[in-house]
């Protein structure tokens, strides 16, 4: 077992609104948030934010929201999301996050299963989706983007004393939020997360060694573009509030590079795919400019420099080489992030060790962590002074990790949820007899550093009885610039195969470089010999990391990309069962054909 002592222990009276109240008293003029107003970033002070939270919470009380009522929150990443979240808690109610990309069926399920009686929504389309479910009264659906003035005006009749009583009526044991799992294998399940879970997680993350001093300081600025319905984005934003960092939001992913250059954050929060595309974009730019050898040399130097940091530090020659490539390559990569990012946080999926070393060597240290919705996000994290690239770090303060039967990772800590809503059987099954939470993830621990090797439910058992964890190979293939998604198959089959989708943006680059018609689609190109040869080369390279029995023998390029709400969950995780059923004919072809690839 590996355990890190807690740096903060919750008392029975704490709740998640305390930081907003404390910040307004201790640093009222601090620029706590930044929001886009008429296309320009404007700051919001701690006092201004606290006043807005109280006014909106009073409006909820005036609108008849009772203590413990559940209120859905459905929008992209925006300032009003955090405003509404804190207002719901201040009114003594419970937040039910809903991904803005959720299908109507998913929205209806979450609203009905959670018992939501009201909702905050963004945009006409989402308002219609909520209205069509019939789960929430029409007069209890409020538009976040249309202004919340009417609701706050209603709250003027609510006394400050009543508002404070409602805020203080909920303690550490009270439910703060019902967060639904991604639903990769069935209906999403509501995780009951208490105020105590949130406060323990946020404050122990915020106080972890080096975080308050280097990563989340009162000079830190962070641009949150991941969906706040995802527990990772929510907890990082709450930890930023606790430490006094400035939080900004955007959901304009098409113009993300522009927003990064304008806002210029010092901290980046992203999933591995964002970092992969960043590296791939830099690589393709080098290829297009005829500088492929320069980029490869710079990449090798960055990786070597980063690896040396774990073994006594770089020598004089390596430091000199890095200075040269910093001017030629790395500086431009950092400029694409705004030019000020020193640290980045990654979660949601494994970040390859090679990519982690490349980014650290290029001047952006990625602190990779691991956790689940059920653990209120992070359980482990690589810290600035205790980092092992390729792992997900050691347990955070207050958390403990041990290995269970079959290599399953088991955890304990004050951040572990209280159970699944309306599902006692699943809750009971989630814990072992000693109270350890069964994460379902497989892993290995070395000197307290945890490495995740896959999901227990995703294990493929071939006809020869070989157990294959698909994640490592899939992650390696997704790092290739042409590949968007990869799903390994082969359960009870003679060998492992792969279904592959192509990245539309980079496929357009490939078409230009290989003189293919711009209008040619994936369906036309997936049998192109040069294209399949490029994918085969990527497969061959990935296969070098596994044994022959685990290697991909055949692959098939699918004719379309995966879509959120179909093959992907709202948090971009693959629904393997859905994919296997939808592309059953493609899978059968992989085991009927004689050639090694499509």
Say how far apart CA 514 and CA 287 lie, in whole Å.
13
Superfamily for domain range 268-380+388-455 = ANL, N-terminal domain (3.40.50.12780)
Average pLDDT of span 516-529: 90
Say how far apart CA 345 and CA 318 lie, in whole Å.
26
Tokens read off for 234: 């929510």
Q: State the DSSP H helix or E strand holding residue 472, giving kind and residue range, or none if neither.
A: helix 471-478
pLDDT in tens, 342-358: 999 998 788 888 999 99
pLDDT in tens, 485-507: 999 999 999 999 999 999 988 89
Tokens read off for 173: 């044991």
Q: What is the pLDDT of residue 271?
A: 86
pLDDT in tens, 50-65: 999 999 999 999 999 9
pLDDT in tens, 34-53: 999 988 999 999 999 999 99
Say how far apart CA 357 and CA 299 lie, in whole Å.
9
Q: What confidence tier does 206 reach under pLDDT thresholds 50, 70, 90? A: very high
pLDDT in tens, 5-28: 999 999 999 999 999 999 999 999
Same fold, 268-380+388-455 and 459-590: no
Where do the structural domains in the chain lie, given as residue ranges? 13-217, 268-380+388-455, 459-590
Please measure the distance between the N-terminal and C-terminal CA atoms of the chain and give it in whole angstroms: 46
Asked whether residue 595 carries a pLDDT value surpassing 60, the answer given is: no
Q: What is the pLDDT of residue 182?
A: 75
Torsion of CA 425, 428, 429, 430, to 10 degrees: 120
Asked whether residue 596 carries a pLDDT value surpassing 80, the answer given is: no
Fold category of 459-590 in CATH: GMP Synthetase; Chain A, domain 3 (3.30.300)
Q: 401 CB contacts (<8 Å, ≥6 apart)?
A: 1, 2, 3, 379, 380, 395, 409, 410, 411, 445, 450
Asked whether residue 594 carries a pLDDT value surpassing 50, the answer given is: no
Fold category of 13-217 in CATH: Rossmann fold (3.40.50)
% residues pLDDT > 70 (the chain): 98
* β partners of residue 207: none
Residue 345 · residue 268 · CB < 8 Å: yes
Phi/psi of residue 3, nearest 5 degrees = -135, 145
Residue 563 burial class via C-beta count within 10 angstroms: exposed 0-12, middle 13-18, buried 19 and up: exposed
Mean pLDDT score of the chain, rounded to an integer?
A: 93
């Amino acid at each position: 077992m590996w355990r890190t002592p807690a740096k903060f222990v919750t008392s029975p009276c704490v709740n998640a609104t305390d930081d907003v109240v404390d910040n307004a008293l201790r640093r009222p003029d601090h620029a706590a948030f930044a929001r886009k107003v008429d296309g320009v970033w404007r700051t919001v002070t701690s006092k201004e934010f606290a006043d807005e939270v109280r006014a909106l919470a009073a409006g909820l009380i005036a609108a008849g929201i009772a203590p413990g009522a559940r209120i859905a929150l459905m929008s992209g990443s925006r300032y009003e999301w955090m405003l509404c979240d804190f207002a719901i808690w201040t009114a003594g109610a419970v937040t039910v996050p809903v991904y803005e990309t959720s299908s109507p069926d998913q929205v209806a399920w979450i609203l009905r299963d959670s018992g939501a009686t009201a909702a905050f929504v963004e945009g006409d389309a989402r308002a219609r989706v909520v209205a069509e479910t019939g789960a929430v009264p029409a007069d209890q659906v409020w538009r976040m983007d249309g202004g919340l003035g009417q609701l706050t005006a209603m709250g003027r009749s609510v006394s400050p004393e009543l508002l404070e009583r409602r805020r203080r009526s909920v303690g550490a044991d009270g439910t703060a939020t019902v967060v639904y799992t991604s639903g990769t294998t069935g209906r999403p399940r509501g995780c009951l997360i208490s105020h105590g879970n949130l406060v323990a997680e946020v404050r122990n993350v915020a106080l972890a060694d080096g975080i308050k001093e280097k990563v989340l300081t009162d000079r830190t600025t962070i641009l949150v573009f991941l969906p706040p319905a995802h527990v990772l984005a929510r907890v990082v934003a709450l930890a930023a509030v606790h430490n006094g960092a400035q939080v900004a939001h955007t959901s304009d992913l098409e113009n993300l590079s522009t927003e990064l250059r304008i806002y210029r954050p010092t901290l980046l929060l992203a999933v591995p795919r964002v970092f992969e595309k960043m590296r791939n974009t830099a690589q393709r730019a080098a290829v297009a400019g005829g500088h492929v050898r320069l980029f490869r040399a710079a990449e090798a130097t960055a990786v070597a420099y980063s690896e040396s940091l774990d073994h006594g530090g770089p020598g004089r020659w390596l430091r000199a080489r890095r200075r040269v490539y910093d001017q030629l390559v790395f500086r431009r990569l950092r400029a694409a992030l705004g030019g000020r990012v020193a640290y980045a946080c990654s979660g949601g999926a494994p970040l390859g060790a090679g990519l982690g070393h490349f980014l650290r060597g290029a001047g952006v240290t990625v602190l990779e962590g691991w956790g689940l919705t059920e653990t209120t996000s992070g359980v482990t994290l690589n810290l600035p002074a205790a980092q092992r690239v390729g792992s997900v770090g050691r347990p955070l303060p207050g958390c403990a990790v041990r290995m269970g039967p079959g290599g399953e990772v088991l955890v304990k800590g004050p951040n572990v949820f209280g159970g699944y809503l309306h599902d006692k059987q699943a809750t009971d099954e989630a814990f072992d007899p000693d109270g350890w939470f069964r994460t379902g993830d497989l892993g290995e621990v070395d000197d307290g550093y945890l490495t995740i090797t896959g999901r227990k439910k995703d294990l493929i058992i071939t006809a020869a009885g070989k157990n294959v964890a698909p994640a490592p190979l899939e992650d390696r293939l997704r790092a290739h610039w042409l590949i968007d998604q990869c799903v390994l198959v082969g359960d009870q089959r003679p060998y492992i195969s792969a279904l592959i989708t192509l990245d539309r943006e980079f496929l357009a680059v490939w078409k230009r470089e290989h003189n293919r018609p711009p209008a040619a689609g994936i369906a036309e190109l997936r049998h192109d010999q040069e294209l399949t040869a490029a994918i085969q080369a990527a497969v061959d390279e990935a296969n070098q990391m596994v044994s022959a029995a685990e290697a991909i023998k055949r692959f098939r390029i699918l004719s379309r990309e995966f879509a959120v709400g179909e093959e992907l969950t709202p948090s971009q995780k693959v629904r393997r069962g859905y994919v296997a059923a939808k592309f059953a004919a493609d899978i059968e072809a992989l085991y009927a054909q004689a050639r090694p690839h499509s």
